[in-house]
Chains A and B, each alone.
Chain A
Amino acid sequence: AQSVSQHNHHVILSEAASLELGCNYSYGGTVNLFWYVQYPGQHLQLLLKYFSGDPLVKGIKGFEAEFIKSKFSFNLRKPSVQWSDTAEYFCAVNFMDSNYQLIWGAGTKLIIKP
């Protein structure tokens, strides 16, 4: 069965630090890739997505992610985090060969210290 793994369950950073959250998925043919964010007390919001084209994807709020097909990875990055980035981040992969099933990573809880 397809799977998605996020390497860190908890990350604590200081403001202005750089961020990289890992996301790897199992082989499953053609994929669409997503990062979602859930701020405390709020619902899931789409940060960015990759369907095709340039593997470096720019999202909202200064986030970007790079799709590296050979590594089955889609890591999320931000050069300088802010306190308001404190949230839980979920990577999700749409395996198109499996009836578009969306598989979620376990999430990474990010805490930014002011």
Chain B
Amino acid sequence: GAVVSQHPSRVICKSGTSVKIECRSLDFQATTMFWYRQFPKQSLMLMATSNEGSKATYEQGVEKDKFLINHASLTLSTLTVTSAHPEDSSFYICSARDIGNEQYFGPGTRLTVT
């Protein structure tokens, strides 16, 4: 089946630094990728929808200057958390949609900001 990878799986960074998370579709092309954030004991929240070659569409309340999304190719999207703060600590999950409109999820990235 289709596989989506994320790198890194865990990252610890200091407050004020930036962190980049990669999301790759390994065996299919994904024109659309999604970035989610999972707060403890809550559901996944969609942060943004990323279409290859165009600007990402951010959900209400998500700061686009803080969470930079780049979707440079049909198999790679990146999320950069700029000037990270402890409240940005969370579990970030990406998904990629194939031509059949099914979404495949990456394993997630645990970000801890100290």
Interface residues of A (CB under 8 A from B): 9, 32, 36, 42-44, 49, 90, 94, 100-102, 104-107
- Contacts of B63-104 to chain A: CB distance below 8 A: 93, 95, 97, 101-103
- Would you call A43 and B105 a contact (CB within 8 A)? yes
- Would you call A106 and B105 a contact (CB within 8 A)? no
User: Could you say which residues of chain A place their CB within 8 Å of the CB of B45?
Assistant: 104
Looking at chain B's contact residues, the main secondary structure is strand
User: Could you say which residues of chain A place their CB within 8 Å of the CB of B34?
Assistant: 102
Cβ distance A21 to chain B, nearest Cβ, rounded Å = 14
Cβ distance B100 to chain A, nearest Cβ, rounded Å = 9
Q: Which of A9, A43, A49, A106 contacts B93 (CB 8 A)?
A: A43
- Would you call A43 and B97 a contact (CB within 8 A)? no
